[in-house]
Amino acid sequence: MMSKGKYAVCFLSLLFFCCEIAMGADDQIMQRSIKVGGDIHLPPYEYVNDNGIYKGFNIDIMHAIAIQAGVDIELHPMPWHALASALERGEIDAVQGMTVSEDRSAVYSFSDPILTISRGIFVRHDNNYIVDLEDLAQAKIAVQKENVPTRLLLYKNPDELTYVDNQQQGILLLMMGKIDAFIGNRMVGLYTVQKWRQTNFIKAVGGPIEPADYAIAVKKGNDKLLAIFNKGLIDVKANGSYKKIYEKWFGEIIVTPSNLLRTFLYRALWGLGIVIIIFLLILRWNQLLKQEVKRRTVELAQAMIQLKESYRAIEKEDRLKEQILDSVFHGVITLEKDSVVNFANKQALRLIQTFGKAVLIGKAVRETPIHEFVNVAHLNRALTDGHASIDQEKNLIIAQEEKVFGYSVYPLMYVDQVGGAIISIRDITKEKRLQSALLHRDKMQSLGQLVAGIAHEIRNPLTSIKTFLDLIPTKMDNKTFREKLFQHVPQEMDRLNKLISDLLEYARPRKAFKEEFAATGLIDEVLALFTNKIQSKDIEVVRNDSDCVSVYADRQHLKQILINLVMNAIQALNQNGRLAITALNFDHAAAIEVKDNGIGIPERFISQVMDPFFTLKADGTGLGLSICYQLVKEHGGDIQIKSREHEGTTVTVILRKQKGDGGNAYRTDCG
C-alpha cells in the first residue's frame, strides 16, 4: 500500500510540473512586450501623419486588444515590403494587418478577421475606357509590391507591371501621367485622393476586386500568440470598443463633388431664394443642353462618316483576303465550332462540285460532300481537342479515275478555346504519280547496285574454293594442304550460305506477326546471346528499361534488329568499353536506344550505312543495317543513327506501343 501511494504522489507531482511548464510558457508571452509591425503608408488603416504620429484603425484596435488581453504591445511602423522579412527574422512577433490568401496561409497563421477589404482601380477623371480588369491588357499599370491581384495576371505579364512601395506612390504616378491606372486598396486610395484634394482629377472605377478577410498575421504555428489576439478581439467586439473604433475611421463617407452637390441641393430646398436659383440654373442648363445636343449631333455625323469609311476599308480588306484565298492552289474551308461551314474559296467549291452541285455555306459537314475528302475523326479531333492533322491523304474514285487528295485540318483558336476549324484540300494525284516514278527509278538504281554487290561478294568465296579445287590433283597428298582445304572451303561455303540467307531476308522477309509485349524481356534475351563476347572484352553494360515500356511489333523481327545493333556495337568497342541500352516511353510510341563509346562512324559515311552491301568491316556483307531498316519501316516505325568518329554511335529504333497508335510526344515516365 505504501509503495502504491508513493507512485501516486510521484505521478501527481510530474503532472503538476508539466502544467507549470505549460503555464510558464503562456506567462512568458504575457510578461514580455509583444512586438507588432505595421505599414507606415496605409491610411486610414495605419500610417504616420504629417506630425510624425503613428495612427489609424489598426493601431486603435491593437491598443484595445492590449487592454482587454492585459498584455504590453510595442508597435513598430515600417514600409510594407519590410514587414515579411522582419517577421521572418524575429524582429517582430506579428503584423497587425494583412490580407488573407491561400498562398500566405501556407507561410503565416491568421487571427479571426478584423474586417473585409478589397482592391480598386484608380484612373484619371478624363479616362473613359478603363472600367474593369479586362480593359488593362494594353494599359500601363502600377501595383504595390507583393500585393498584386491574382485576376490581373490573367491579362498582364508580371514583367509589364510597375511596382511601387506604397499606395501613395501609385496615386502620385497616376497624377503625373506616367501610368494609365493604379490598382490598390480601395479605401486607402479613396482616402488618399480626398486628402490630396484630387477628387476632380482621380476617380475609382469598377466594382470591388477580390474581397478578402483582413487579419493579424503571425509566424506559422505560433498558436499561443494567435490565441491571445483572438481572445482580445472577441472581447473588443463584445464590449462595443470595436464598433466605436470602426465608426471613428470608416463611419463617415468620403465626400466627393457629387455628394457635395446633392447635399447642397438638399439644403437649398429649405430656402425660397434657392428655388429661384434652381429655376435660373434650369434655364441655363437648357441652353447648354441645346448647345451640347448640337455639338454632339455634329460629332455623331462625323462619327458616322468615319464609321462608313471604316466599313468600306474593312469591306475592301475582306474582298482582298477573299481574292487571295480564291487565287491559292489549295481549297480552303472554314468551320464553326458546331462543324457548320462559314467560308469556302473557289478552289474548294471546284473540288467539292466533282461530286455534284452542293450548297456549302451554312451547312453542317455531314450534309455536304466534304466528308468524302476529309476523315471525320480528324475533323472531330480539331473541333473538340484542338489537335491538328497535317499532310493526310485520301484516295477517291472520280469519273472512273482514281485520284489522291491531300488535306490538313487545323483548329481555329480564339484566345485559349477552340472556335472552329480550317480545312486545306488539294489534288496531289500528279505529285503521287511523279513520286512513284521517281521511286521506281531509284529502285532500279538500287537494283543495279545490289546486283553488282552480289557479284562481288559471291566471286570472292568462289575464287577461293576454285583455287583449292584446282590444287587437289597435285597437292592432295600434302597434309598441310588438306588441313587448309578442310578449313577454308567450309568457311567460304558458310559465307556464301549466310550471304544468300541475308539476301533472301532482305528481298523477301517473312510476313510480320505483330503483338504487344514488354521490351525489357526481349532485351534480356538479346544480351544473353552475347554474354561471352561481353565478358571477353570486359564491356560495361548499362540498362535503363522497365516493364512499363511496351511495343507493338513482330517479336522475332525486333529481336533480329536488336541482335544486329548489339553485335555492331560490341564489334565497335575496344577493351573495357561501354554499352548502354535504354527503353523510352512516348505518348503512343516507344523507342529502344543502343549506344556505345566505340570507334564511331565517319560523318561522310553516315548517310550510306543503311545501303545494301555498304560496310566498313573487312569481313562484313553490308546487309545487316539494310535489313534492320527494312524491318523497322515495315512496322511503320523509324530508325535514327547519330555517330561521331572516335566517340561512339547511338542507334534509336522507334515503334508503336499498341495497335493503331502513332504518337510523338516524348515522355520518360511510365504513366
Transcribe 409-426 into DSSP letters.
EEEEEETTEEEEEEEEEE
Q: What is the pLDDT of residue 665?
A: 40
Which residues on neighbouring strands pair with residue 656, listed in sequence order?
589
pTM of structure? 0.35
Residue 215 CA to its chain's centroid (Å): 35
Is the per-residue pLDDT at 112 higher than 50? Answer: yes
pLDDT tier at 325, thresholds 50, 70, 90: low
Q: Distance (Å, rounded) from C-alpha 457 to C-alpha 650? A: 28
What's the confidence (pLDDT) of residue 255?
45
Question: What CA dihedral angle connects 321, 326, 328 and 330, to 10 degrees?
Answer: 120
Which tens digits make up the pLDDT trace of 140-163?
Answer: 999 988 778 877 778 888 888 899
Confidence of residue 217 (pLDDT cuts 50, 70, 90): very high
Least confident window among 45-59, 84-98, 413-427: 413-427
Q: Provide the 10 A C-beta neighbour count for residue 535.
A: 9
HEC string of 490-527 equals HHHHHHHHHHHHHHHHHHCCCCCCEEEEEHHHHHHHHH
Annotate 258-320 with DSSP letters as a single string.
Answer: HHHHHHHHHHHTT-HHHHHHHHHHHHHHHHHHHHHHHHHHHHHHHHHHHHHHHHHHHHHHHHH
**Mean pLDDT of the residues in the chain:** 80
pLDDT exceeds 50 at position 386: yes
pLDDT confidence band for 597 (50 / 70 / 90): very high
Please report the pLDDT score of residue 229 as a whole number.
93
Quote the radius of gyration of the chain (alpha carbons, Å): 43
Q: Are 349 and 368 in contact, with CB atoms under 8 Å apart?
A: no
How many of the other CB atoms lie within 10 Å of CB of 36?
Answer: 24
Select, from the ranges 191-195, 311-315, 488-492, the one with the highest average predicted confidence (pLDDT).
191-195
Contact between residue 506 and residue 557 where contact means Cβ atoms under 8 Å apart: no
| Cβ(537)–Cβ(570) below 8 Å | yes
| 619 band by pLDDT with thresholds 50, 70 and 90 | low
Q: Is the pLDDT of residue 539 over 80?
A: yes
Lowest-pLDDT range, 161-175, 255-269, 311-325, 401-415? 255-269
- C-beta of residue 181 within 8 angstroms of C-beta of residue 141: yes
Query: Is 50 exceeded by the pLDDT of residue 638?
Result: yes
How far is the C-alpha of 569 from the C-alpha of 551, rounded, in Å? 22
Q: Mean pLDDT across the stretch 272-288?
A: 87
Give the helix ranges, DSSP H, for 353-428.
Answer: 370-373, 376-384
Give the residue with greater pLDDT, 89 vs 460: 89
CA distances from 310 to 215, 316, 499, 581, 611 (A): 54, 10, 77, 65, 63
Q: Is 377 exposed, middle or buried (0-12, 13-18, 19+ CB in 10 A)?
A: exposed
Of 260, 220, 238, 197, the closest CA to residue 95 belongs to 220
Does residue 182 have a pLDDT over 80? yes
d(CA 457, CA 463): 11
Give me the count of residues in the chain. Answer: 671
Helix (H) or strand (E) holding 321: helix 272-327
pLDDT at 593: 92
Side-chain-side CA neighbours of 663 within 13 Å: the count stands at 16
User: Residue 265: how many CA atoms within 13 Å on its side-chain side?
Assistant: 8
Which is higher by pLDDT, 550 or 443?
Answer: 550
When pLDDT is averaged across residues 214-228 and rounded to a whole number, the result is 93
Residue 442 has pLDDT above 60, yes or no: no
Domain annotation for the chain: domains and CATH numbers: 29-258 (3.40.190.10), 328-427 (3.30.450.20), 433-507 (1.10.287.130), 514-667 (3.30.565.10)
Determine the average pLDDT of the residues in 107-120: 90
CB 34 within 8 A of CB 94: yes
**Greatest Cα-to-Cα distance within the chain, rounded to the nearest angstrom:** 153
According to DSSP, residue 72 is labeled: -
Q: What are phi and psi of 476, to 5 degrees?
A: -65, -30
User: Which of 269-283, 530-544, 583-597, 605-619 has the least mean pLDDT?
Assistant: 605-619
Is the pLDDT assigned to residue 1 strictly greater than 80?
A: no
| pLDDT over 50 (residue 259) | no
Alpha-carbon span 443 to 428, nearest angstrom = 22
- DSSP single-letter state for residue 367: G
For residue 638, list its beta bridge partners.
654
Angstrom distance (rounded) from CA 53 to CA 59: 11
Cis preceding linkage at 44, omega within 30: yes
Residue 453: pLDDT band by 50, 70, 90 thresholds? Answer: low
**pLDDT at 465 exceeding the cut of 60:** yes
Q: Which among 230, 172, 223, 227 is positioned nearest to 202, based on CA atoms?
A: 172
- What was the pLDDT predicted at 94? 96
- End-to-end alpha carbon distance in the chain: 67
H/E run at residue 664: none
**Does pLDDT of 599 surpass 50?**
yes
Residue 16 burial class via C-beta count within 10 angstroms: exposed 0-12, middle 13-18, buried 19 and up: exposed
pLDDT at 607: 73
Name the pLDDT band for 435 (thresholds 50, 70, 90): low
117 vs 150: CA distance, rounded Å: 15
Give the residue, 442 or 392, on which the prediction is more confident: 392
Q: Rounded CA gap, 249 and 56, in Å?
A: 7
Say yes or no to pLDDT of 454 above 70. Answer: no
Percentage with pLDDT > 70 across the chain = 81
The per-residue pLDDT for 234 is 93
CB-based contacts of 11, cutoff 8 Å, min separation 6: none
Q: Would you state the pLDDT for residue 16?
A: 41
Confirm if 200 and 261 have CB atoms less than 8 A apart: no
Whether 395 and 403 have beta carbons less than 8 Å apart is answered as yes
List strand residue ranges (DSSP E) for 546-603, in order.
Answer: 550-554, 578-586, 589-596
pLDDT in tens, 53-92: 999 999 999 999 999 989 999 999 999 889 989 999 999 9
CA 202 to CA 185: how far, in whole Å? 15
Is 231 within 8 Å of 126 (Cβ atoms)?
Answer: no
Mean pLDDT within 215-234: 93
Share of the chain above pLDDT 90, in %: 18
Sign of the C-alpha dihedral computed for residues 560, 561, 563 and 567 taken in this order: positive
Give residue 622's pLDDT band: very low, low, confident or very high (50, 70, 90): low
- Looking at residue 579, its amino acid is L
